Structure 1
Amino acid sequence: MLIDPRHLIQLHMIVELGSFISAAERLGLTQPGLSRNIRLLESRIGVRLLIRGKHGAVPTDEGKTLAAYGRRLFELSQQAATTGAAVHRGEVGELRLGAAFSLANGLIAEPVSRFLAARPKTSLRVLPGPTPRLLEELDAGQLDLVVGGTQMLPEEHGLRFEALVDNDLVAVGRADHPLAKLEQDAPVAQLREYRWVACLEQDPLRRDVEAGMASLGLTQDCVALETASLTLVTDVLARTDFLTLIPSPLANALTASGRFARVQAASSYTLRPIGVAYRVNAYIPPIATAFIKVLRGWAQENRTSLAALRDD
């Protein structure tokens, strides 16, 4: 014997409100339609569930028992509706995010923190790696989004890249670094007097860093430390007169802390814009769409901050 769970919920509502009329209004049904459903339920069960009288509907003992199940179903349906709405808004679930090495090492800390703070029922799994490999994993459905440079797979893979922030290599040192006080570009001879920190050779950014250093007239023997740890980079910079070349959005985040400062140099090295890649011919979960919106807001703020720095 199968019982329609909606009929149990309707029975609960009648018992809760004590009236077919009130229950029909609450459920968005007509009174005749609601009466028909209860008669069908009574026919399926084979017992009387409600006694209709001048003062409304009174449940029998059997009606009270089944109405209790209806109440549980109603509460579950309300919880499911609330959860469903939260899922639709991207407030529930896990996001699998691929991030290029340098980005995973600190650049996306602000949007990630903002996203998680506003959505306590979500979680992020950030997987660092070279952008080409991450894009392959995105294409295979192993990731939901990839944040990185504009290295893309061929069009037939159906990936789309949305550029968010322009990107240059910027020289950075501690806030009171001698070269940070200069109001003009630091001469090459002075840049060579200091030791530098660089990312590892396995990081795709390393080739750009080497090219950027070459554009400043620096050679590889200036590099004193190679690391994939942004924490180590910042700790070393804070304790020494070492310098580093890092993407401008990351430099902006570091200088905003007040612990570090940009060093003006005669040459700038333009990198690929930073953006987010996602699949266009496949399902994009709401949590991914919500994170993209947070990234867009963060990018707009970053562009505004960079413009202000340039104006200064």
Structure 2
Amino acid sequence: MNSVPELNLKHLHALVAVHTHGGISAAAPHINLSQPALTQAVARLERQLDTALFDRQPGGMAATEATTLLVPRIARALGYLAQGVRLARRAARLPALPAIERRLTLSQLRALTAVDTAGSYTLAAARAGLSQPAMHRAVRELEAVIEVPLLQRRGKTLQPTPAANRLLRQVRLALAELNAGLDELHALRDQHGGRLAIGVMPLARAILLPQALARFARAWPGATVNVVEGPFSEVLADLREGSLDLLVGAMRDLSAVRDVVQEGLFDDDPVIVGRAGHPLAGRKTLTFDHLLRYPWVIPATGAPVRARWERMFRDNGHAPPVLRIECGSLVITRGLLLEDDWLTLMSRDQFLFERRAGLLVELGLAGEALRRRIGLTTRADWHPTRAQQGFVQIFRDVCAERSDDGPTEWPFRYPDTR
């Protein structure tokens, strides 16, 4: 989030007011600023952004395209900050203060997020290239403005108070919105520029996402993409706080998380995988006696594939075998399969290269009940930039091409051995 320049939040609010009310003189009474002060605020923003925000005409000020793109982002950012302060004060059992977000500074907000991430003023200051006293002073000034303690020491680390946790999420969303606004401005100069941060889950990263990224890079040569892998709980938290724009991969049950939405794009059927030359390779019919005869490597309890693997056995009247190795790493799992007669469940994409090389083979399908939906997860209030919209459409196209290949055949059946 450090790409946001040192803008003045009061100046941003002034820009919104001038745009909303149609001019300097009309906006001045609404934000308690003189016309000269308001004129200076807009002029300074134009210098900082190196962009004309209004066309000065005899009949008044006409917003440029840059302003039309930027103002909605600023308005949403200010709304997040207002909500964050309200939530923080409510957590501290304090009444709301009107327009208090206008008294905040980006330096204060950056300092709070930096200390929260680093766990100490020393490390936060070193990462930000600031002095420790400056970092400490910025957080203390923020606490004084909103009248709420924000950090508490636990052992050797600083941790946010419950009130700060409520504020921090809204602050990060506000910074993400301002970053998106700056991207919109840059895109006016470079029609193929922009930035995108994607959280990726295991199923999407082997073939699906690389295909989409390659197409996106060709269509948007000036854009940059940051791909982040991690446990689902972590990438979901990053998405909800604005540091990721979207998640791609297998969909989860997020009915309890109301601020995100999911878009299913195609179905994937897990298959049973083993090494080439596995004793079960080439069989047209697999029984559960066969499957129980060999060791399995499956992720630990809590992973979706683990639940599906257990269901595969239980739905057919068998207890899942005891796992000697639990592993969520695809790299390690593929390596283990090559060493001996181990079995696992994978998407076909996840061992495509090993299959082409004749190293791993599909032994059978896990069953229609284990089919999983692949798609996109975004924030419910996400407003993508042009570049982000471009990637989403490309990803949809890649998924649609898979769906157009026709329904999956089911050549393997498990006889009822109960």
Give TM class, smaller chain: 0.5 to 0.7
Aligned equivalent of 1:141, options 242, 256, 261: 242
Partner of 1:152: 254
- 8 Å contact from structure 1 (residues 150, 275) kept in 2: no
TM-score (norm 1): 0.59
Partner of 2:19: none
- 8 Å contact from structure 1 (residues 254, 260) kept in 2: yes
2: CA distance, partners of 1:124 / 1:136: 19
Aligned equivalent of 1:174, options 275, 279, 282: 275
Note if 1:193 corresponds to 2:285: no
Partner of 1:128: 229
* CA deviation after TM superposition for structure 1 residue 146, in Å: 1.2
Partner of 1:111: 211
- 8 Å contact from structure 2 (residues 198, 227) kept in 1: yes
AA of the residue aligned to 1:177: H
2: CA distance, partners of 1:306 / 1:234: 28
2: CA distance, partners of 1:155 / 1:196: 33
AA of the residue aligned to 2:286: A
2: CA distance, partners of 1:81 / 1:151: 36
- 8 Å contact from structure 2 (residues 270, 365) kept in 1: no
- 8 Å contact from structure 1 (residues 197, 243) kept in 2: yes
Partner of 2:190: 84
Partner of 1:162: 263
- 8 Å contact from structure 1 (residues 172, 246) kept in 2: yes
2: CA distance, partners of 1:186 / 1:229: 26
Q: Secondary structure at the match of 1:220?
A: coil
* CA deviation after TM superposition for structure 1 residue 212, in Å: 2.5
Q: Give unmatched runs, 5+ long, in structure 1.
A: 3-79
Count of matched residue pairs: 226
Aligned equivalent of 2:389, options 289, 298, 302: 289
AA of the residue aligned to 1:188: F
Partner of 2:94: none
* Larger gyration radius, structure 1 or structure 2: 1
1: CA distance, partners of 2:227 / 2:189: 24
Alignment of 1:212-231 (within 5 A): 212-215=312-315, 217=318, 219-221=320-322, 223-231=323-331
RMSD, aligned CA: 3.6
Partner of 1:238: 338
1: CA distance, partners of 2:230 / 2:236: 10
Partner of 2:62: none
* CA deviation after TM superposition for structure 1 residue 197, in Å: 1.1
Q: Give unmatched runs, 5+ long, in structure 2.
A: 1-42, 44-185, 413-418
- 8 Å contact from structure 1 (residues 165, 249) kept in 2: no
Q: Secondary structure at the match of 2:370?
A: strand
TM-score (norm 2): 0.45
* CA deviation after TM superposition for structure 1 residue 162, in Å: 1.4
Q: Secondary structure at the match of 1:263?
A: strand
AA of the residue aligned to 1:302: R
Partner of 2:165: none
Higher strand residue share: 1
1:158-202 Cα deviation digits (max 9, x unpaired)? x3321112133321112333322012x211111111111101335
- 8 Å contact from structure 1 (residues 165, 302) kept in 2: yes
1:51-79 Cα deviation digits (max 9, x unpaired)? xxxxxxxxxxxxxxxxxxxxxxxxxxxxx
- 8 Å contact from structure 2 (residues 296, 342) kept in 1: yes
AA of the residue aligned to 2:388: A
Large movers: runs of 4+ above 6 Å: none
Distance change >3 Å, CA 136–CA 186, structure 1 → 2: same
2: CA distance, partners of 1:293 / 1:165: 14
